Structure 1
């Protein structure tokens, strides 16, 4: 008998961890960090109800921290086997895990230095040494080919269209005839998204584990280039700086690519762009290495496979240069991370730019509950940064077309031709979103749906 247990992304969006047990094998699908509200972040410190050393393999859908960010801690706690992913995910994980470790160390040091912690002292969840040990466990495999994780569990990757190297995971448990088939959606990307190809059609399965990040709503039906041009021209008219909080991996590359297309076509003025993120600069090198994974159909640039080239683009690595950006008057674009404004250089830019009504803060994509990005979306008059309440006077705007997640209608479109599974588990969504999407699947496709709770287990098969 096979079993699945939901140790993350159940009743919430982040912390993706699904434990599959079959025969003597244990496989963990994703190994992500909980993010957002404090009660969720505290779960990262809670001991898992199974031994890390008992797991035979980890398989990853993609490189975002809510899907891979717990790996260093998992290795520290005793995991010593392989972590299977695509080649692009392996390269991106090097950036993201090392950066995560450095950020945690830096944030803990800042809290201790400013006496802003109730702990004595505040400690990081893991360090750079732990991250390096986790990276040594990564094994890259190609999409479209079957790979044995641990007898009787095999997996095959299909493009999810969400991020460079992202996948849905097709799994077969081959201790019966026919095999028991599971499909893990990972994060499903959008149709016609810049830089990424459309998500591959889902293969037939007995059990579907499906995300529901946007399960209760759709993105506006809008041309992302047209909307971005409108927002940039409005920000240009204000005369200040447009600050874009972007994920260093994926969103930053999309944004600069689209801005370059618009400038090339004369739809927005040629203004300076500052990419203030060493990790985003390094990620761009990886994007170029895997250029065959790019869909660059939005416009013709010279050269056409360039994402960040251009005399108006400055790639900012040094901390001192980042501080000098405080003196930039605008019009200009500053792109910085993290995307949900939970840490990193973006916080210092927000402190500088939020109080001035000439400036524009541009949001893109999902903002988890408890993050500063969500607070700005909801119109909070002040934002807490480094122990200070910073007034929000800048214009707050958004470009939802840059979201990496499929909206409700796109998820339904993705599943439209899938033969009905025996059961569909709705994960990776806040409660309202998961419940709404589960109802839509029941009503439109007659799927039997379950919304698992954190830590809940289910027997699979007969």
Structure 2
């Protein structure tokens, strides 16, 4: 091969499963290695043969610790990858938590499927197990923000703050003299803990996410969440909040603390039913005591609020089971954020049929997930092989999103010191990616392309 090339192995035409392969004559590097979520056809890709040869990779680079960006790394390790996994220190901490939980849930889902007989596979098996994760964790190699890390003789990488979740980064990969910038998941300017994303560096090629590429976030309205809580508690029900364990749970807790301490919602028990979220909360509390460049300087009130949080952690399965029928009004926060797996699924099975209850959705719901189905108003949802009636109130609170919207993405791109040769728009549903590509072309005058899954292009 003359020069370098980029292949879109995931998150092309869909919003999950991020994976990109950069090749030179000497080196192969994967940027991201995420799991697919949502539609069954997409989830089946997780089980297909890997689209690369794991033991040929010199390195994997992660932008952040969400499962759709890091969840395939243990499978790469299972199939022979032994190189470094470059990421920030906080991403290494959070990815350790996320991957351990992912392996545990996959093993648990396989066990339940075998016991319940609702899997097509005999026996149902996990994609990877906790032993694979144990072999993965030592490969996590923290890198400092803003510093170049040499990967091979012709490849190096630099991470800069992305403002999405703790430790999130944009990835600037220099391969055989060409620079490609990967946005990862791009944050917004109003995150209560993180600074806005760092300005993009110069690069010939940009790969940018488009989760919200066809819309603008509405102005935050605290009354949406407050009203939902008051109505639910008033009728004797409980509020169930599916929330990503990393970052989203922390932001929801901060907002509930603000509303409760200000008298906007009743003082009822708040349960955090996710061992992963409890561990992530500890990482956030620890990070707030540091002077990381990714953190906002004015964090006194946030530190105080996190220290004052009266949240009841639920680390064990027995405690989680008791919350399926709480008995008295309360608020339960549980993963996953799109209701695609984890303890929240059991809570939904028991609480959705009761009209007194309320389910609050706090972020993007991918096509094919239970969260998306609830958002679209389905009357029944399938859980563990059975259909459950949806009688509970469903409320959408989009202001919790920490993904940049279309205007924010274009504004971020426009801060680049040089015009790139091309922008590839990924990590979005087809309409969102296409809309953002048009907007980049119209507003910036740049070449913007929505790549196909599996497409390979030259760099430089």
What is the TM-score when the length of structure 2 is the normalising length? 0.95
Give the whole-Å Cα distance in 2 for the aligned partners of 1:249 and 1:412: 26
Q: Do residues 426 (structure 1) and 428 (structure 2) align?
A: no
Q: Which residue of the partner structure matches residue 212 of structure 1?
A: 210
**Deviation sequence 1:312-336 (CA, Å, 0-9, x none):** x211111111112234244321001
Counterpart among 127, 130, 135 of residue 129 in structure 2: 127
Q: Do residues 409 (structure 1) and 410 (structure 2) align?
A: no
Q: Do residues 272 (structure 1) and 273 (structure 2) align?
A: no
Displacement of 1:257: 1.2
Matches within 5 A, 1:113-192: 113-173=115-175, 175=176, 179-192=177-190
Matches within 5 A, 1:285-296: 285-291=282-288, 292=290, 293-295=294-296
CA contact (8 A) 1:8 1:15 kept: yes
Displacement of 1:306: 4.5
Give the whole-Å Cα distance in 2 for the aligned partners of 1:296 and 1:333: 31
Displacement of 1:339: 0.9
Give the whole-Å Cα distance in 2 for the aligned partners of 1:414 and 1:210: 10
CA contact (8 A) 1:253 1:308 kept: no
Give the whole-Å Cα distance in 2 for the aligned partners of 1:107 and 1:305: 38
Give the whole-Å Cα distance in 2 for the aligned partners of 1:253 and 1:14: 22
CA contact (8 A) 2:437 2:448 kept: yes
Q: Which residue of the partner structure matches residue 101 of structure 1?
A: 103
Q: Which residue of the partner structure matches residue 360 of structure 1?
A: 358
Give the whole-Å Cα distance in 2 for the aligned partners of 1:163 and 1:28: 21
CA contact (8 A) 1:296 1:305 kept: no
Q: Which residue of the partner structure matches residue 6 of structure 2?
A: 4
Change (3 A) 1:406 1:234: farther
Give the whole-Å Cα distance in 2 for the aligned partners of 1:452 and 1:252: 33
CA contact (8 A) 2:325 2:350 kept: no
Q: Which residue of the partner structure matches residue 35 of structure 2?
A: 33
Displacement of 1:139: 0.6
Displacement of 1:246: 0.5
Matches within 5 A, 1:54-453: 54-173=56-175, 175=176, 179-223=177-221, 225-291=222-288, 292=290, 293-295=294-296, 300=301, 304-307=303-306, 309-311=308-310, 313-418=311-416, 419-453=418-452
**Deviation sequence 1:5-46 (CA, Å, 0-9, x none):** 011111111111111112301111011111111111111121
Give the whole-Å Cα distance in 1 for the aligned partners of 2:111 and 2:322: 23
CA contact (8 A) 1:355 1:391 kept: yes
CA contact (8 A) 2:325 2:351 kept: no
Instruction: Give the root-mean-square deviation of aligned CA atoms.
Output: 1.7
Give the whole-Å Cα distance in 2 for the aligned partners of 1:305 and 1:296: 14
**Unaligned 5+ runs, structure 2:** none
Displacement of 1:294: 4.6
**Deviation sequence 1:196-241 (CA, Å, 0-9, x none):** 3211111121100000011011221224x44433333333333311
The number of residue pairs the alignment matches comes to: 453
What is the TM-score when the length of structure 1 is the normalising length? 0.94
Change (3 A) 1:441 1:369: same
CA contact (8 A) 1:83 1:139 kept: yes
**Unaligned 5+ runs, structure 1:** none
**Deviation sequence 1:166-223 (CA, Å, 0-9, x none):** 00011223x4xxx422110000012202333211111121100000011011221224
Give the whole-Å Cα distance in 2 for the aligned partners of 1:262 and 1:151: 54
Give the whole-Å Cα distance in 1 for the aligned partners of 2:362 and 2:180: 32
